[in-house]
Amino acid sequence: MSDRYQGFASTTIGRMVVKNLGLPNPTPLERWSDGGPLVDGMVVLGGSGRLGEVLPTTLDGLGIASATELEEGASAKALVFDATGIEDTAGLVALQGFFTPLMRRLASCPRVVVIGTPPELRSGSERIAQRSLEGFTRSLGKEIGRGGTAQLVYVAPAADGALASTLAFLLSPKSAYVSGQVVRVGAHGATSTDEVADWTRPLAGSVALVTGASRGIGEEIARVLHRDGATVVGVDVPQAASELQTLMAELEGDHLFLDITAKDAPQRIAHHVKEHHGGVDVVVHNAGITRDKRIANMAEDRWNSVIAVNLTAPELITRELLDSGVVNAGGRIVGVASIAGIAGNVGQTNYATSKAGVIGLVESLRDDLDDGITVNAVAPGFIITQMTAAVPFATREVGQRLNAMAQGGLPVDVAETIAWFASPGSGAVNGNVVRVCGQMMLGA
C-alpha cells in the first residue's frame, strides 16, 4: 500500500524528472511514534489577544517549548498566532506582519495555528475580521509546502482554558494529513477544562466501541485507541470473525459479531457494553460500505444497503446508547463521514448522501447532549488502504495528488484525529467535522 510515485520522486532520477517537468513533489510526512515529543522544535507565538498568557502556559504544560521570537539562524517548527485581538479589517495586517518574515524560517513539516473568536459571537467590524481568518488559513495551507499544515481554531471566550488537547494534536505529527481546517472549541456550549493525567495514555481506564474494526481504517482506529489506553470493543460482521478475534486478542480487547443493520443491533450493542464493561466512553461509527453506480443506473438495493450501514445504523445505535444511559458522562461520539459527503462524487450519490447524513447527525446532536458528552466527525479524503489499492491507476493517482500535500493519507491519520476527539481533554471540542484529506482541492 505504498505510494510508488512518491518513492520514485525521492530518487535521484526522480527528483530530476519532477523538477524538469514541474510534477508534484510530495514531502514525506512526519508521523508521531510512541514516546516521541509532541513538537520537535520551537513554537513561535505572535498576535495580541486575550490568550497572551494562556498560550505559553498551555504549551509549557504539554512540554512544548515556545518563544515570541526566533534566535538568529534558528528555524521554527510551528507558528501560533493569537488573532482574538483583531477587532476590524485594518487590524488584519497583523497577520502579514507576523507571518511574512517567518515563512522562510520554517523547519520541514511545520505547523501553523491561527486562533480566533467564533464570528457568530461577535458583531459588526469584529465579526467581519474574524470571519476573514478562514480565507487566510485555507490559503496558507496551500502555500506552506514541505509537508506543512495550517489550521484555524475558533475559541469561545469561556473555553480559553480548554485548548491543550487541540494544540497537542494540531501542533504535533499526529495531525500530519489534516490541513486547512476550521475547528471550533467551546462554540456549542461545551467548555470543559478536564485535566489529562497522562498525555501519553489519555484514555486509560476508558472503554471504546469501534464498528467495522476488523481491518483497514477501523483496525487502525482500534490500535490507536488501545495505544492511548482504552479497552477496545470491536464490532464487525460475522464474516470478519477470524480477523476481529485475532486483532482484539492482540489488543487485549473485546469483540462482538453482528450486522449493525439488524433490527436488534442497537439493543444488543447497548446490552453488551453495559453487561461486560459497565458502559462506554468512546463510540466510533466507522463501519461503512460502497455500492457505486451513477444514479441513472442505481438499483434500489444498492441505495438502501449503503444508507442502512453508513447512516441509519449509526443514528439508531447512537440514540439507543444515549437513551439507555450506556454512554458514560464525558463520553465521546465520533462519526466517520467522507469528503464525498461534502463535495460529492461521480457514481456515489448513495454514499455521498449517507456521509452527508453523518454530518447531519453531528449537527442534530451537538446542542442537545448532556453530562459533558460530545459528538464530532472526521471526513477522510483519499486514504491509502487495500480498498483504494484496487482503484484504477489513473483514478488513484488523481485522488492522491489532488490535495495540497500531493499524496494520499494513511489510516493512522484518521485514527489520530479520532483519538483527539476521544480524549478526555477534548470536552470543549463539540460539533466539529474535520477533514482528513491533506486539504483536498475539492469541497470547502
Active site residues: 351
Q: Give CA–CA dist 384/423, Å, rounded.
A: 25
| Contact yes or no for 214/234 (Cβ under 8 A) | yes
| Contact yes or no for 13/47 (Cβ under 8 A) | no
Q: Give CA–CA dist 154/420, Å, rounded.
A: 17
| Contact yes or no for 363/385 (Cβ under 8 A) | no
Q: Give CA–CA dist 417/278, Å, rounded.
A: 26
Listed in order, strand segments (DSSP E) in 199-326 are 207-211, 231-236, 254-257, 280-285
| Total Cβ atoms within 10 A of residue 2 | 8
Edge-to-edge strands, sheet with 280-285:
254-257, 231-236, 207-211, 280-285, 327-336, 374-380, 433-436
Alpha-carbon dihedral sign for residues 406, 407, 408, 411: negative
- In terms of C-beta density within 10 A (0-12 exposed, 13-18 middle, 19 or more buried), how is residue 87 classed? middle
| Dihedral, 390, 395, 399, 402 alpha carbons, nearest 10 | 160
Distance of CA 349 to the CA centre of its chain: 24
Q: Give CA–CA dist 23/86, Å, rounded.
A: 39
| Contact yes or no for 375/297 (Cβ under 8 A) | no
User: Do the bridges between strand 66-67 and strand 43-47 make them parallel or antiparallel, or are there none, so unpaired?
Assistant: parallel
Q: Give CA–CA dist 292/301, Å, rounded.
A: 12
Closest CA to 372 of 291, 429, 315, 310: 429
Length of the chain: 444
